[in-house]
Structures are given as structure tokens and as C-alpha cells.
Amino acid sequence: MFYKVILSILVMILFANQALANDTKKVLIVLTSHDQLGSTGKKTGFWLPELTHPYYRLTQANIDVDIASIKGGLAPIDAKAFTEADDNHQRFLNDTDLLTKVLNTIPIDKVVANEYDAVIYSGGSGPMWDFPNNPDIERISTTIYQNNGIVAAVCHGVAALTSITLPNGDLLIKGKRVTGFSNIEEQELGTENIVPFLLQSKLIDQGATFIEGKPWQSNVIIDGQLITGQNPASATPLADALINQLRKN
């Protein structure tokens, strides 16, 4: 009798662990591969806190995270990020696992979209050049969205949403409440005449309802399966909103 009880407990633990494994969520973070700031001769890339803040929030919530970029391999970091104080900078530099993921990002054309419950398009100025009109961004986003997953983007990463078309022919953002790097913030950054387009204006032109927060202050907008953050300050709360949504699914 004793052995039967022990065996029953072991079986229950096995099935419980299997259920937890099957319930593990998986998120893809996509980075830019573009490192030139227009024709200025200056370098750009992805904005480090818009990777590290969501990444650490997600992994602390026991969510698996993969990192891809448009071309794969080393994703360019905008060095200006290191001029701003951030506790996660040193954490990143000491984190062999995350450093390896950034050095060896998955090429976006190799991403199997069905493996993920959500995607986050990370910011920095680089995405303004290589996120729009990318067929793999459209493929990944529409697949996740149709699977009842979540499509999220922060800051200039919202540029990825400007060309995602659903199977019915409508733009993903049409009629949706969204935010992203605002025209005022672009002007204050001094890049309004350098980037290919003003993100806020583009989103409005394409039928989205743009919700503008105060410059450089956190602003996250949730519209169903779509989550957007305005600027770097929005990266952590965007991750928190994503985690909450995943727990509901």
C-alpha cells in the first residue's frame, strides 16, 4: 500500500511538471541590423534598454526569450545608450547568455513563428530603416496574431507595424489605438529630418489612433492583442503588460 501511494505521488508530480513545461510561454524579441543614421555618417542601431528591460522582466517571469534581428548575427548597439545611467548596462555586460544571444541573433527569415506566443519589436533609430516593409516581420506578426498571440513594439520599433497587412487586406494597425516615438520626441532628438519618416504621422496616416503621452515619459497602450510603448521609458511597463496578457491566455 505504501509503495502504491508513493507511486501515485510520483506520477502526479510527473504530470504536474509536464503541464508546467507545456505551459511555458515563449517570446521573440526582434532587433534592427541597421547601423547607419541616414547620410550623417553617424552610427546607430538598437537602443540597449529597450532590449534589456523587457528581456530581464520576461525571464524573471519564467518566460523563454529568443532574440532575432533582420540579418542575424551581431546586432548593432547604439553606443549612445551607454552615456545614460542604467543599472542593466553592467548586468548586460556581465551576462554571458544575453551577450551570446546579441552576438548570434537568429536571422529573421529563419524564425518559426508558430513557436512563439508573442513578439516584441525593439527600438533604437535603426528600425526606422529596416523594419518597415519587411516580409518576415509581416509573416511572423500575422502568424502570432492569428494564433491569438501578442504583437508588441516599443519606441521606433513600432515602425514594424506600419506595413503589417492581415489576410483580409487590412493593415494590422487600422482602427487600433497605438503609440510610438512621437514627433515631438523626434524633434527634440534632432533627427526629424534624418529618419525616413515621422513615425507618429505615418501611423495616423495609416488609420491608427495615435495616443500621445508626455515626451520621454512612460506611455503604454493596449488594444486587444496589440501592445505599444512610446519611448525608452515605456520598455519595462510594456513588458509588464505583455506578461499580464500572456498569463490570461
Domain membership of residue 77 as a residue range = 25-248
- pLDDT 10s digits, 205-221: 999 999 999 999 999 99
- pLDDT 10s digits, 131-146: 999 999 999 999 999 9
Examine residue 16 and state whether it is found in any structural domain, yes or no: no
d(CA 208, CA 146): 19
Enter the pTM of the model. Answer: 0.91
DSSP string, 167-211: TTS-BTTTT-EE--S-HHHHHHHT-TTTSSS-HHHHHHHTT-EE-
Q: What is the pLDDT of residue 5?
A: 41
Cβ atoms of residues 86 and 132 within 8 Å: no
CATH of the domain at 80: 3.40.50.880
The set of catalytic residues is 155-156, 186
| Domain count of the fold of the chain | 1
Examine residue 62 and state whether it is found in any structural domain, yes or no: yes
Q: What is the pLDDT of residue 233?
A: 98
DSSP string, 64-88: EEEEEESS-BPPPB-GGGGGS--HH
- pLDDT 10s digits, 175-204: 999 999 999 999 999 999 999 999 999 999
